[in-house]
Structure 1
């Protein structure tokens, strides 16, 4: 399927989830992430703040866990059409931007490029790690700038089903996908 079709299909599937269902699925995704990756104190995690109206995965569960265990937390912020990475702490001040997304008040880019994990929002991911986001390309640009050692991890309510037919040459695939039922690795060009 084409990205535009997959984007529409999975937005509708997500909208069909109740708030309680989305939260329970988010908890399962969190548990699978912790069990598989076992993050430890001192590691650096870049993670998105969820857009509630799009019923994105509730990453506040992850953020609270990381901060309580001295895992460094960085979140994205768009400044002049570039995705920067802002380090946050328990007392970080947030504001709502013009897209209605919560983000840190600070515009200070951390300059960190050697994250242990980048937990990435998406609408869909196929069996080769190709992702469909909202079509703005912010994460492809961000992926180009970070260390090759960083694990790029998508989180989604749904497992891969159909292939993405219009993958572009500059699309950067994920290394892993975490769902409520699985942790999938794409290091061998996909899974079967």
Structure 2
């Protein structure tokens, strides 16, 4: 299927989930994450802020958990049509933007490029790590500008079971995909399923 077809299909699949299902599955995704990856104090994690109206995986509990572990957290914000990375903490002020999406009040780009983990929103990911997002290209741009050793980790409610027909050479694949039941590695390491 093409990216456009997969985008439509998985947006519809996500829309069928209740808020209780979204919360439960989100918690399972991040339980998988914490079981699989070693995290320690002062690591740097870039993580998106969920858009609840799109039934995205809920990241608020995950971010709170990172704060408790004394891990530095950065979130994306679109400023002048560019994705910047803003460092947040428990005292950060958030506001609703014109789309009613919560984001940091500050527009100060951290300039950080050396993330340990980049938690990436998506609609679909195939079994090669190729990602279907919303089609704006913000994360492709981010991936091209950060340290290539940063682990790019997609999170999704759904496992990969379809090919993407129109992957192009400029697409930067994910290193891992975390679902409610498994962590899949695309870098040649063994995948770990906890079904």
Cα distance in 1, alignment partners of residues 190 and 57 from structure 2: 23
Q: Give the C-alpha shift of residue 38 in structure 1.
A: 2.5
Counterpart of 2:148? 148
- Map 1:49-128 onto structure 2 (within 5 A): 49-128=49-128
- Taking structure 1 as reference, are residues 6 and 101 closer, same or farther at Cα in structure 2, changes over 3 Å only? same
Cα distance in 2, alignment partners of residues 136 and 123 from structure 1: 13
Cα distance in 2, alignment partners of residues 184 and 42 from structure 1: 25
Any gaps of 5 or more consecutive residues in structure 2?
none
Q: Retained in 2: the 8 A contact 1:44–1:74?
A: yes
Q: Give the C-alpha shift of residue 190 in structure 1.
A: 10
Counterpart of 2:16? 16
Cα distance in 2, alignment partners of residues 3 and 80 from structure 1: 26
Cα distance in 1, alignment partners of residues 175 and 98 from structure 2: 31
Counterpart of 1:183? 183
- Map 1:23-42 onto structure 2 (within 5 A): 23-42=23-42
How many equivalent residue pairs? 191
- Taking structure 1 as reference, are residues 189 and 127 closer, same or farther at Cα in structure 2, changes over 3 Å only? farther
Deviations 1:91-134 (A, max 9, x none): 10011112322110100010110000000000000000000000
Any gaps of 5 or more consecutive residues in structure 1?
none
